[in-house]
Amino acid sequence: MKRYFFDSPKNVKIFFMVFYLFLVFSLVAEFFIHKHIYFSWEDYPFFYASFGFVAFVFLIMVSKHILRPIVKRREDYYSD
């Protein structure tokens, strides 16, 4: 049986550590990178991270509560 990279819990832990370090680096780098803002609210610290998180949560909630009831099928849909 072929083993893939993410089959090992050790590799998953390393992947998440690198991912979290990248996130922290991105948040720290925001203080040193000049932004060309168009609106006053873009100047707040961590605005883009907050906006992305809120947009993601909004997208999940819309898809769960509005789109899912439209496209879901009965449990026995394919057994007919």
DSSP reduced 3-state for 69: helix
Share of the chain above pLDDT 70, in %: 99
Contact 62, 71 (CB under 8 A): no
What is the rounded CA–CA span in Å between residue 79 and residue 44? Answer: 54
The sign of the CA dihedral 29, 24, 58, 63 is positive
What is the rounded CA–CA span in Å between residue 6 and residue 62? Answer: 30
Contact 10, 29 (CB under 8 A): no
Domain boundaries, the chain: 5-72
Enter the pTM of the model.
0.65
11-19: average pLDDT: 97
pLDDT of residue 18: 97
